Structure 1
Amino acid sequence: MDPASHPEQLSVVNEQVLNSADRSVTAAVCLRRFLCYGSESSTYSTKECPLGIENALSLMQLIEGGRGSEVVDEVRRFNLEGRAVRPNPGLFTLAVCSQHADCKTRQAALRALKELCRSPVQLFTFVQYKKELKEGSGMWGRALRRVVTDWYNGQDGISLAQAVTKCKHRAGWSHQDLLRLSHMKPANDNIALVCKYITKGWKGVEEAYAEKDKSEDLQKVFAYLEAVEKAKHSTDEQELIHLIEEQRLGKEQLLTNHLKSKEVWKALLKEMPVAVLLKHLGKLTANKVLIPGSPDIAAVCGRIQDETVLKKAKTQPFNILAASENYKRGHGKRSKLKWEPDRDLVQALDCAFCKSISTVEATGKRFLVAVDISSSLSSLCRGSSISTVAVAAAVCMIIAQTEPNAQIVVFSEGNLLPCTVSSDMTLMQVAGLLIQTPGGSTDCSLPITWASENEKTVDVFIILTNNQTNGRENPADTLKMYRQKSSVFSKLIVCGLIANNLSIADPEDCGMLDICGFDSQAVDVIHNFALDIF
């Protein structure tokens, strides 16, 4: 994207004020933080907080300052470039902009929503934000009715039929609610059929269309909805399997009783998205759907190790790690479900994790990843059910294999040792490097001091710890001294793997970030932060 051709975007993205603290945080930086992970602060937490005007003050400052159109441009950029690790902050921002007094801001927000809002979940979420922002007063004006109408009319018949049968309601809204309140007028016969199904049910569709001459496209939509209805009421296993395979029905469209059948699960496996498959590996093993040595096991192992499949599904290494650790545990986190982990599946998951690292985009920055070993790394990481040593090992592997200029070290009070993490090492081998006898207190300034004393040039410091720092030096102050000595605006990311809150980063410094816990989205936050996305 050429910045010169987007002057409005450039003014928001590059607006920054220099001060005695190197760089201060502006409203534009806070906006980018908010759009990326839902908070204007210098802390990313795995626990997602409810969104409201009270935690989006910089957003309001920019809008009230007449820069609403620029804010909308930022929302578009973040979503189209895949920089928003959470979708709801962008939808909330568009909801705020869509009801501002400035006509250009409102129009820009609604145009962007039409472009970015793809799923029913996003549509329901946007409408709910509109309701909350209106505080109970009338919200269904012409503009919102047009937005909702355009969303439904913007789909083709089959896509809309799939969407409304897989996601029927969310955030207190249903498709029937939206059609009624928007006074929806279908743009064509295919959309009209789906709308009839939403408002009148299958009985209404049969009465209106069963004897009616239907075009080829209309017949496809009719047949799909008919299959969904038959599946709801079917007690014949073979009929159900036929419907799943013929119309590619998903588990969301089946009844709970249907999912007690092994053969039904086997039919679902053929088209099951990778993310859903990873989530249900334990259940599939416990229920004997996946039997050791069976062709089904071989097919699943092949899919989850296929780099093309992983890239197409945008499968994060951390998501595979979570699935792998949960599967190896042999029991559900909250349920009584138990299983004996299949050896082939375990090996496939380990292989899939290593292969998925290749899907991570390099930043080209110089990294120093420092793992604090002053306390045991056996705790569970906040935001997941993975041990902190596994998380630390995964981060080390991802950075070491994707960034050409990266160094890994372990440290405790007064002691720091380099670690060699090569591309042929397994997660268990890397974790073994990190499991050392703990001792001393935590000093998160030590890796920065070591880099300074050894004249290491570092763009991004990543410190992984189970504790708040207890060292004599403040890491934020140590970083500022390092910047002055090296003439490099280095960044600092401190990951408190079990922390509910963290207060190491200077909130007025756009080059510092605290992370509480760790999850797959934290990987994207680190990537964006390193690339100056916010």
Structure 2
Amino acid sequence: MDPASPPEQLSVVNEQALNSWGRSESAAVSLRRFLCYGSESATYSTKECALGVENALGLMQLIEGTRGVEVVDEIRRFNLEGRAVRPNPSLFALAVCSQHADCRTRQASIRALKDLCRTPAQLFTFVQYKKELRQGSGMWGRALRRAVADWYNSQDGMSLARTVTKCKHRAGWSHQDLLRLSHMKPTDDAVAVVCKYITKGWKGVQEAYADRENSEEVQKVFVYLEAVEKAKRCTDEQELIHLIEEQRLEKEQILSSHLRSTEVWKALLKEMPIAVLLKHLGKLTANKVLAAGSADVAAVCERIQDESALKKAKTHPFNILVASENYKRGHGKRSKLRWDPDRDIVQALDCAFSRSISTVEATGKRFLVAVDVSSSLSSVTHGSSISSVAAAAAMCLVIAQTEPDAQIVVFSKGSVCPCAISSDMTFMQIAAQLIQTPGGSTDCALPITWASENDKTVDVFIIFTNNQTFGRENPADTLKTYRQKTGLFSKLIVCGLIASSLSVADPEDRGMLDICGLDSQAVDVIRNFALDVI
């Protein structure tokens, strides 16, 4: 096999269909990258860019090549498999397909709507993209009207009531707009109650359902919507807390004025998703919701250390690290909010980080992770607001503990040093090693040269650096030489932790990827790239 060629088998099921005609392989890879992070280029940036047809040339090439139906299938499959790190690119791609001249492509895209638009925000965003892509004629044809109506009718009454009261509008659209434009007719009595609430408000629901005998499901929806309305008007704190606990109301359904209450926050804590909880730990501590030594602190600590809950919520160790580092800082990034970090919460976050590593699935690839120590790692990582040494140490630890074949090295001017990182080391121990290593000038080709000279078999090189300075050789050229020597299609990821732009990867080589900054989405991009998904 030519070492400069990609692997014969890729993880995406639709590879054969997408690559079945000339020059489509590069278009198929471009499509997946666009679906994954919103760009067809070999660069992922933590700063999200606006989407447009000019950014999706691979998508357009595949559609114009009479493969529109296969493209829609790929969009759907890519999302159902959880490969997309950002939801909007897939919604944009689906909107493009739904506007195409080919009837089968349009029909396939409309059928896929319910699978991609799982939340009202996603549905609103899709409709807005269709509006922006519209050329000449109106966009509300029979197919779109039916698809939007089916989106509402496919849910049970209680699920629909919860979702429409949590997200009422987005991207310039509201539920009232969509019901009116889709000519939606409820096929279920409980759904009809919610539709009445959307179009006529709570007063209209009362007039239609308060004084008549209702089915059990209709009555449940009626009581729930009544609780949502009472929560808006409620002036008694205890009554509001009772409504939150009885109907499991969430933060989005509570007025901002009510969120000034410590007791209301305590009630919301009981059902708060882990991701939301991690985000608000500082605020909850500052507002004395989480008082030192309290039962609430104990309950929160127990929840964030629950390994099964972390796995269910798909909480990556990097997310916990960011939450932990931000909490330990004792103040918000931009706001004036300040707090004294609670010792028990800090310990729980450290424990949660360690436990969450076990939830990460190994890729089975052979890794060489190289950390550039030629300059200070104290800078703030773009996209995460944590130090670059913390970001690099976390990635080293996660890879070392989850991948059976991984080596960690540090490098600076003219030298590469294996880093004594074992699977039982702590995050702080690894960070200390990276800080203590002497510096020098940057040469990102060094780790690849070192692997070649020492006969290291590597599937994926990952380089973390604060610079992109080259030494005598360009890393892309060095990688190609390594491939020729080993016969492997080895891949290279260069992560510029504080970079707003990078130009290391060869844009014509699908085995190279630049990453600007590092956030939780970048972690998923790295995994997708290692597994040949993008």
Normalising TM by the smaller chain, what interval? Answer: over 0.9
- Hey, what does 2:78 align to over in structure 1? 78
> AA paired with 2:483?
R
| CA distance in 1: counterparts of 2:53 and 2:345, whole angstroms | 47
Counterparts of 1:113-262 in structure 2, within 5 Å, are: 113-135=113-135, 137-262=137-262
Contact 2:382 2:499 in 1 (8 A): yes
* Partner deviation per Cα, 1:124-153 (whole Å, 9 max, x = no partner): 010011001005741111111111101000
Contact 2:18 2:71 in 1 (8 A): no
Deviates more, 1:524-533 or 1:105-114: 105-114
| CA distance in 2: counterparts of 1:384 and 1:153, whole angstroms | 40
- Hey, what does 1:10 align to over in structure 2? 15
| CA distance in 1: counterparts of 2:178 and 2:393, whole angstroms | 47
Local SS of the residue matching 1:76:
helix
| CA distance in 2: counterparts of 1:127 and 1:338, whole angstroms | 40
Contact 1:39 1:56 in 2 (8 A): yes
Task: Give 1:499 shift.
Answer: 0.6
> AA paired with 1:524?
D
- Hey, what does 1:457 align to over in structure 2? 457
Unaligned runs of 5+ in 1: 19-23
- Hey, what does 1:269 align to over in structure 2? 269
Local SS of the residue matching 1:435:
helix
The alpha-carbon distance between structure 1 residues 136 and 436, as it changes in their structure 2 partners (threshold 3 A), is: farther
> AA paired with 2:380?
L
Task: Give 1:393 shift.
Answer: 0.4
* Partner deviation per Cα, 1:388-422 (whole Å, 9 max, x = no partner): 00000011011101100000000001011111222
| CA distance in 2: counterparts of 1:7 and 1:389, whole angstroms | 34
* Partner deviation per Cα, 1:434-454 (whole Å, 9 max, x = no partner): 113553211000000000000
Contact 2:367 2:405 in 1 (8 A): yes
- Hey, what does 1:21 align to over in structure 2? none
- Hey, what does 1:287 align to over in structure 2? 287
- Hey, what does 1:484 align to over in structure 2? 484
> AA paired with 1:510?
R
1:50 aligns with 2:55: no
| CA distance in 1: counterparts of 2:180 and 2:342, whole angstroms | 50
Local SS of the residue matching 2:370:
strand
Contact 1:320 1:353 in 2 (8 A): yes
Task: Give 1:358 shift.
Answer: 1.4
The alpha-carbon distance between structure 1 residues 25 and 468, as it changes in their structure 2 partners (threshold 3 A), is: farther
1:316 aligns with 2:316: yes
Unaligned runs of 5+ in 2: 1-7
| CA distance in 2: counterparts of 1:362 and 1:83, whole angstroms | 16
Contact 1:367 1:458 in 2 (8 A): yes
Task: Give 1:14 shift.
Answer: 5.1
> AA paired with 1:508?
E
Task: Give 1:98 shift.
Answer: 1.1
| CA distance in 2: counterparts of 1:363 and 1:13, whole angstroms | 24
| CA distance in 2: counterparts of 1:386 and 1:423, whole angstroms | 23
1:409 aligns with 2:414: no
Contact 1:311 1:359 in 2 (8 A): yes
Local SS of the residue matching 1:510:
coil
| CA distance in 2: counterparts of 1:319 and 1:89, whole angstroms | 22
The alpha-carbon distance between structure 1 residues 72 and 346, as it changes in their structure 2 partners (threshold 3 A), is: same
Local SS of the residue matching 2:436:
coil
| CA distance in 1: counterparts of 2:19 and 2:368, whole angstroms | 26
1:376 aligns with 2:381: no
Give % identity: 79
- Hey, what does 2:4 align to over in structure 1? none
The alpha-carbon distance between structure 1 residues 253 and 136, as it changes in their structure 2 partners (threshold 3 A), is: farther
| CA distance in 2: counterparts of 1:376 and 1:436, whole angstroms | 10
| CA distance in 2: counterparts of 1:444 and 1:137, whole angstroms | 53
| CA distance in 1: counterparts of 2:302 and 2:275, whole angstroms | 15
Contact 2:367 2:462 in 1 (8 A): yes
> Across the two proteins, how many residue pairs are aligned to each other?
526
| CA distance in 2: counterparts of 1:136 and 1:386, whole angstroms | 48
> AA paired with 1:141?
G
Contact 1:12 1:28 in 2 (8 A): no
| CA distance in 1: counterparts of 2:149 and 2:139, whole angstroms | 15
Local SS of the residue matching 1:26:
helix
| CA distance in 1: counterparts of 2:130 and 2:50, whole angstroms | 14
- Hey, what does 1:353 align to over in structure 2? 353
Task: Give 1:87 shift.
Answer: 1.1
TM-score scaled to structure 1, two decimals? 0.96
Deviates more, 1:57-66 or 1:112-121: 112-121
Local SS of the residue matching 2:369:
strand
| CA distance in 1: counterparts of 2:158 and 2:320, whole angstroms | 31
Contact 1:373 1:436 in 2 (8 A): no
Local SS of the residue matching 2:14:
helix
The alpha-carbon distance between structure 1 residues 320 and 8, as it changes in their structure 2 partners (threshold 3 A), is: closer
> AA paired with 1:334?
R
Contact 1:8 1:70 in 2 (8 A): no
- Hey, what does 2:327 align to over in structure 1? 327
> AA paired with 2:469?
T
Deviates more, 1:417-426 or 1:456-465: 417-426
Deviates more, 1:368-377 or 1:108-117: 108-117
Local SS of the residue matching 2:205:
helix
> AA paired with 2:317?
P
- Cα RMSD (Å) of the superposition? 1.8
Deviates more, 1:96-105 or 1:232-241: 96-105
Local SS of the residue matching 2:112:
helix
Local SS of the residue matching 1:371:
strand
Local SS of the residue matching 1:100:
coil
Local SS of the residue matching 1:280:
helix
Task: Give 1:115 shift.
Answer: 2.5
- Hey, what does 1:60 align to over in structure 2? 60
Local SS of the residue matching 1:513:
strand
Contact 2:444 2:469 in 1 (8 A): yes
| CA distance in 1: counterparts of 2:251 and 2:303, whole angstroms | 19
Runs of 4+ in 1 over 4 A off after TM superposition: 12-18
Task: Give 1:25 shift.
Answer: 6.4
Contact 2:42 2:512 in 1 (8 A): yes
| CA distance in 2: counterparts of 1:470 and 1:515, whole angstroms | 17
Task: Give 1:477 shift.
Answer: 0.2
* Partner deviation per Cα, 1:272-313 (whole Å, 9 max, x = no partner): 000010011001101111111111111100000001000111
The alpha-carbon distance between structure 1 residues 44 and 25, as it changes in their structure 2 partners (threshold 3 A), is: farther
- Hey, what does 2:93 align to over in structure 1? 93
Task: Give 1:121 shift.
Answer: 0.8
Contact 2:131 2:139 in 1 (8 A): yes
TM-score scaled to structure 2, two decimals? 0.96
The alpha-carbon distance between structure 1 residues 421 and 25, as it changes in their structure 2 partners (threshold 3 A), is: farther
| CA distance in 2: counterparts of 1:221 and 1:458, whole angstroms | 57
The alpha-carbon distance between structure 1 residues 132 and 419, as it changes in their structure 2 partners (threshold 3 A), is: same
| CA distance in 2: counterparts of 1:307 and 1:416, whole angstroms | 37
> AA paired with 1:217?
E
